[in-house]
Amino acid sequence: MCGIVGYIGEKQASPVLLDGLSKLEYRGYDSAGIAVYDGSKINIEKSKGRLKVLSDLIDGGKKLKGTCGIGHTRWATHGEPSDVNSHPHTNKVGNIAIVHNGIIENYMKLKTYLISKGYEFVSETDTEVIAHLADYYYKGDIIDTVIKIINKVEGSYALGIISSEHPDEIIAVRKDSPLIVGLGDGENYIASDIPAILKYTKNVYLIDDNEIAVLKKSGVTLYNTDKEVIEKEVFEVNWDIQSAEKGGYEHFMFKEIMEEPIGIANTVNPIIKQGLIKFDKIPKKLHIVACGSAYHVGVVGKYVIEKLAKIPVEVDIASEYRYRDPLLTEDTLVVIISQSGETADTLAALRDSKKRGAKIFGIVNVVGSSIARESDEVLYTLAGPEIAVATTKAYSTQLTAIYLLALSLAKANGNLSAEEEKAYCDELMRLPDYVSDMIKQKEKIQYYASRFYNSKSVFFIGRGLDYAISLEGSLKLKEISYIHSEAYGAGELKHGTISLIEDGTLVVALATQDALYEKTMSNIKEVKARGAVVLAITEDGHYNIEETSDAVLYIPKTNPLFTPSLAVTLLQLFAYYVASLKGCDIDKPRNLAKSVTVE
């Protein structure tokens, strides 16, 4: 949510800021703005709507001159989307400009105090409080000012600040909201995420909470809140710029589905070749904590880990986890799953779990992210950058990571013989080829999408792991096509859901588990008898399903614990083609953001 970019150097800042912000559009936003120092004053342009509105307003940056500036794409939290509420925000005289990601929880208290001191507010945002606080505290030293702000505000923030009193500097600081500093030759950058500056540099500082970065074109200095200079290793990004571009595909989502086989292979191969993960201490219980699609991975993980490792598993939505007062001990392993490694609720759950004495195992896609750095152990999903808001390859590689974790725990627990380990690992190594075979069915899936894209409501049903993967199939469809869809355990149909089935209702039925196949077949017959149209997904060999289903997609026979990786690719493609036929904005669906960095 929200995006920050800053530049200081020899080039004109505005085009760099616009370019960087364009690489952050996937984060979700409803307005955009930039502030540039022109040598005498700070000039600001901002507007509601897409970044193109802002770009047209300033002629691609040509109308806003200067070599130092900050930019922002805003996701509305405090105050509606509007030109006035857009960032950057300034103090009254306009010599300080600020962009902010996050939420200031005590902003009303601070706003009331500032109003009592004579300050006037023009926006409804919490961010404007910071601009006026900076004005109130500024006594000639910008670092002292930022330290006072840090000590005063409560909540989450990533801040980029410029001041005409310090024309050769950008100040940046963060707490619980992602921010990096990019290092160039005679120029430096700040950004919310790597893609914004990948075109310009691969060398970055990963800023930790309450670290203050002072950027000049000649270099970057980092301070702590005691105003002491701190040293930090330079992190080198191993992505190439092409991996963050569409590469000829119409949408990032489709490109990222095509990249699933290589992402799975990259995640599996190092672990298999070097040996499964070793545990110094075998946990007696696991809690899997995540949000959205990552939570659905956790549901799969519960089935797989309990089956293989015989360790009890609880799965929690991260935003609810802390508030149920979970029972954790030093024998509990908390598995934190996040693509970005910066998801606010998930990160908060991690920190709360550590305070309670639990060990943290992170499954993360972004190297050096907050969750990766704060976990006791981390398994990286090597999916590469994922730009589309709706996750595909990150989800698939998270599934792969869960399989590897389950096998490692099973081996450590003595529940996996050498022969079984080899068989499972061999099958995991085949997953990229199986997923490639799923992708080859895209024309058939596109045809089915053309038959069903006018559906008003869709129900996904399955049992066991098929139910777990139905959750993700339903989410994919609803988030990018805006069709109402729900996932249900097939055995729950008679407990209420079946009353919603009427003539023409589309039911997507997953029946990939041999042990549950006949029971799911009975459920398919139940919905067919009430007028449903059924799209079924099952394994090769179950051809009798065609007698009761209107359309069928097949996956090859594999270990039943790994079928989610095959079925989900078909469901992702189905959602993609339905959304495409409906003319939806597939990579940037309405109201959604890629990185949810506020609670």
Asked whether the beta carbons of 307 and 415 are under 8 A apart, the reply is no
Number of domains present in the structure of the chain: 3
Residue 501: which pLDDT band, with cuts at 50, 70 and 90? confident
Asked whether the beta carbons of 380 and 372 are under 8 A apart, the reply is yes
Do the domain assignments include residue 596?
A: no
Mean pLDDT over residues 114-133, rounded? 94
Do the domain assignments include residue 592?
A: no
Is the pLDDT score of 599 beyond 70?
Answer: no
First to last CA, the chain: 11
Do the domain assignments include residue 70?
A: yes
Same domain, 29 and 115: yes
Can you list the pairs that 260-263 forms with residues at least 24 positions away whose Cβ atoms lie under 8 Å?
260/392, 260/393, 260/396, 260/397, 260/435, 260/439, 260/569, 261/432, 261/433, 261/435, 261/436, 261/439, 262/432, 263/381, 263/382, 263/383, 263/384, 263/393, 263/394, 263/396, 263/397
Mean pLDDT over residues 489-497, rounded? 83
d(CA 240, CA 530): 52
Is the pLDDT score of 27 beyond 80?
Answer: no
Is the pLDDT score of 68 beyond 90?
Answer: yes
Helices (H), 332-392: 344-355, 370-374
- The Cα-based distances of 2 to 71, 95, 155, 261, 386 in angstroms read 11, 23, 16, 31, 17
Same domain, 355 and 229: no
Asked whether the beta carbons of 311 and 283 are under 8 A apart, the reply is yes
Same domain, 214 and 307: no
Q: What is the DSSP letter of 277?
A: P
pLDDT of residue 594: 60
Look at residues 321, 286, 309 and name the one whose alpha carbon lies nearest to residue 410: 309
Same domain, 413 and 315: yes
Same domain, 523 and 541: yes
pLDDT of residue 156: 85
- The Cα-based distances of 34 to 72, 167, 175, 193, 415 in angstroms read 6, 16, 22, 17, 58
Cα 413 off chain centre by: 32
Percent of the chain with pLDDT over 70: 97
pLDDT of residue 593: 63
Asked whether the beta carbons of 257 and 393 are under 8 A apart, the reply is yes
d(CA 275, CA 262): 20
pLDDT of residue 80: 77
Of the three residues 210, 240, 270, the one that is the final residue of a domain is 240
pLDDT of residue 291: 94
> ω into residue 88 within 30 of 0, thus cis?
yes
Of the three residues 214, 240, 266, the one that is the final residue of a domain is 240
Q: At what angle do helices 393-412 and 260-274 cross, to 10 degrees?
A: 20
Mean pLDDT over residues 488-513, rounded? 88
Its sign, for the CA torsion 324, 326, 380, 174, is: positive
The CATH number of whichever domain residue 564 belongs to comes to: 3.40.50.10490
Mean pLDDT over residues 382-387, rounded? 88
pLDDT of residue 153: 93
Between 225 and 593, residue with greater pLDDT:
225
Q: In which order are the strands placed within the sheet that holds 166-175? A: 89-90, 96-104, 155-163, 166-175, 212-216, 219-223, 229-230
Structural domain for 176, as ranges = 3-240
Residue type, 459: F
d(CA 109, CA 107): 5
Poorest-pLDDT segment among 45-54, 116-125, 531-540: 45-54
Same domain, 140 and 59: yes
Q: What is the DSSP letter of 12?
A: -
The CATH number of whichever domain residue 164 belongs to comes to: 3.60.20.10
Helices (H), 312-417: 318-321, 344-355, 370-374, 393-412
Between 369 and 548, residue with greater pLDDT:
548
Same domain, 38 and 181: yes
d(CA 122, CA 128): 8
Do the domain assignments include residue 599?
A: no
Percent of the chain with pLDDT over 90: 75
Same domain, 390 and 485: no
Is the pLDDT score of 241 beyond 80?
Answer: no
Do the domain assignments include residue 195?
A: yes
Mean pLDDT over residues 256-274, rounded? 94
Same domain, 411 and 489: no
Poorest-pLDDT segment among 69-78, 193-202, 426-435: 69-78
pLDDT of residue 283: 95
Residue 280: which pLDDT band, with cuts at 50, 70 and 90? confident
**Known catalytic membership, residue 2:** yes
Is the pLDDT score of 466 beyond 80?
Answer: yes
**Known catalytic membership, residue 202:** no
Residue 28: which pLDDT band, with cuts at 50, 70 and 90? low
Interior CA angle at 564 toward 261 and 394, to 5°? 50
Asked whether the beta carbons of 289 and 320 are under 8 A apart, the reply is no
Question: Which pLDDT tens digit goes with each residue over 88-102?
Answer: 999 999 999 999 988
d(CA 217, CA 182): 11
Cα 11 off chain centre by: 32
What per-residue string of b and e applies to 569-587 under the rule 16 or more CB within 10 Å gives b? bbbbbbbbbbbbeeebebb
Do the domain assignments include residue 137?
A: yes
List the beta bridge partners of residue 3. Answer: 73
Do the domain assignments include residue 515?
A: yes
Look at residues 168, 176, 119 and name the one whose alpha carbon lies nearest to residue 142: 168
Poorest-pLDDT segment among 181-195, 366-380, 448-462, 582-596: 582-596
pTM: 0.84
Look at residues 148, 167, 431, 168 and name the one whose alpha carbon lies nearest to residue 159: 148
Question: Which pLDDT tens digit goes with each residue over 288-346?
Answer: 999 999 999 999 999 999 999 999 999 999 999 988 888 898 899 999 999 988 888 99
Same domain, 73 and 19: yes
- The Cα-based distances of 421 to 272, 409, 432 in angstroms read 10, 11, 19
Task: Kindly name the residue from 2, 68, 425, 584 that is annotated as catalytic.
Answer: 2
Same domain, 341 and 418: yes
Mean pLDDT over residues 400-421, rounded? 95
Is the pLDDT score of 72 beyond 90?
Answer: yes
Do the domain assignments include residue 202?
A: yes
What per-residue string of b and e applies to 426-440 under the rule 16 or more CB within 10 Å gives b? eebeebbebbeebbe
Half-sphere exposure of residue 40: CA atoms within 13 angstroms, side-chain side? 0
Mean pLDDT over residues 260-274, rounded? 94
Same domain, 30 and 124: yes
